[in-house]
Structure 1
Amino acid sequence: MVLVSVNGHEDPADQPPWAMQLVLRVEKGEPPAHLAVCESAAMAAVTLLGDPRSEPGGEWHEAVAAWEDRRIRKVVRRARGIRWEALGDLPGVLVDHEGAPARAFVPGPVTEVPAAISRLQVGGTDLPRDDEPKPPPAPPYALVGLNPGVAMTTGKAAAQCGHAAHLLLRAKGAWPGLRVRVVEPADWRRAVAEADVVVRDGGFTEVAPGTMTAVARLVG
């Protein structure tokens, strides 16, 4: 069965939306590459979800559960230098993958984002494309495919990969490896047919509501 999500359930009408904040380290001199960032963001999101502190009885569980009962928004920001270092004491996890460090923070209301995060830029994160195929990790691994027909900045694509990995984790359980690729246009229909999960965007930024942005499946 394919799990399809428009980024989760509806938000309660009388409460502010919740989001998981994802922050990418983007230094001026050596910016990371597009797909490496997408992979790091997705890995950071599922690392936080799989952390013992997010499980029942853990200190993060109540916040994670409350967020998953709403739309599973993920907000991607960028930081460098001192502003990146200032994030280290906030509750969350760090993934340093292929020179593209990313942090995922415990979800909460968008009206209560810590100042060290809220001051960071959200929009306009677009990085050098590294679309050359990379060898897959040893199976089992998550294969996330981005829709080749949808133009997205790196920040937007990273959020969609985070959604796809999140849904796959909940559908199939944990897996040790992950690879993100931009699907060839001729292969997109097959990728959708073979997917375990499909992400349809809520339409808050960059793309129209209901746009199919990414798919994911467990390989091996």
Structure 2
Amino acid sequence: MILRPLAARYASWLGLPAEQTALPEATPDEVRAMPVILRMEKAEPPGRTPLLEAAAAAALAVCLDERAQPGGLWHEPVSDWVSGHIRKVARRARGAHWTAVCDLPGVTVTVDGAQARALVPGRVVDAPREVARLQISGSELPADEPGPPPADRPLLWLNPTVEMTVGKAAAQVGHGTMLLASLLGEEELAKWAGDGFRCAVRVPSAAEWAALLPGPDPGQAWRDRGVIAVRDAGFTEVDPGTVTVLAQYREVVDGA
């Protein structure tokens, strides 16, 4: 499975001090990233939570698409990317610019009217013009109140003590779904794929966050509670080693 390098690398990585977790840095010309395009129409902006949920599902859907598997058209670029830093660069688009990126290789996910499209990763310097012209920052969405999360979908908890733009949060929840998927078995993945890799994104209270944190034994947290942490490399917005997301697996019900 194309995400196995994540399981091997990050499951142990979580137990290391932040200064020991970095992979060798690529030269600027070799930096690879997955573009995640957030549809943000001016007249009808999406809700923050459904947009993040769409981005999280789309990022994973690209990785597990049949075209990303051995022999597929996307296999080489996805494999090359997963073998290094799983960087994602979220950009916003609307109108004709959104239509243009929908013609590029990738997967679009819609959640409650909010749309995100994850594109096949590649070298940042090779980004298509349709992507490079899109802005990374400049728009924000207000916090919403999505209500209790469904019990039968994986759950992504955003760190309540860290401020993140919607673009940063979109990248982080995408990391979360990928890490979860890398640790699941074939049957669990098949069920999740049948539900379109849907997940819930929520912001816990400080007490809930503290109770969920993996602590000194991240392996035990995964075995007991199905929780794994996304710890940021610190390239943008947050300090290196910051836990931005806790991804918690809950079994997907067939036909959900």
TM-score above 0.5: yes
Match of 1:202 among 233, 238, 243: 233
Match of 2:154 among 137, 142, 161: 142
Distance in 2 separating the partners of 1:106 and 1:60: 7
Q: How much does 1:171 deviate?
A: 1.3
Structure that is richer in helix per residue: 2
**Pair 1:160 & 2:172 matched:** yes
Aligned to 1:82: 96
- Name structure 2 gaps, 5 residues minimum: 1-6, 215-224, 252-256
Structure that is richer in strand per residue: 1
Q: How much does 1:11 deviate?
A: 3.6
Identity of aligned residues (%): 44
Q: How much does 1:198 deviate?
A: 0.7
Aligned to 1:60: 74
Which has more radius of gyration? 2
Instruction: Classify the secondary structure of the residue corresponding to 1:167.
Output: helix
Q: How much does 1:112 deviate?
A: 0.4
Instruction: Classify the secondary structure of the residue corresponding to 1:89.
Output: coil
Of the structure 1 ranges 191-200 and 141-150, higher mean CA displacement relative to structure 2 is found in 191-200
CA contact (8 A) 1:24 1:79 kept: yes
Distance in 2 separating the partners of 1:12 and 1:156: 21
Aligned to 2:221: none
CA contact (8 A) 2:212 2:227 kept: no
Distance in 1 separating the partners of 2:234 and 2:38: 22
Aligned to 2:250: 219
- Name structure 1 gaps, 5 residues minimum: none
TM-score when normalising by structure 1 = 0.92
CA contact (8 A) 2:59 2:118 kept: yes
Distance in 2 separating the partners of 1:9 and 1:36: 32
Flag as ranges the 4+ runs of structure 1 deviating above 6 A.
none
How many residue pairs end up in the alignment? 218
Q: 1:12 to 1:132 in 2, by over 3 A?
A: closer
Of the structure 1 ranges 174-183 and 146-155, higher mean CA displacement relative to structure 2 is found in 174-183
Aligned to 1:151: 163
CA contact (8 A) 2:29 2:124 kept: no
Match of 1:169 among 169, 172, 181: 181
Distance in 1 separating the partners of 2:114 and 2:56: 12
Query: For each residue in 1:80-120, what CA deviation from the matched residue of structure 2 results, as whole angstroms up to 9, or x when unmatched?
Result: 00000011221111111111111010000010000000100
Alpha-carbon RMSD:
2.1
2:102 maps to a residue whose letter is G
Q: 1:133 to 1:29 in 2, by over 3 A?
A: same
Distance in 1 separating the partners of 2:83 and 2:90: 20
TM-score when normalising by structure 2 = 0.79
CA contact (8 A) 1:10 1:71 kept: no
Distance in 2 separating the partners of 1:191 and 1:92: 33
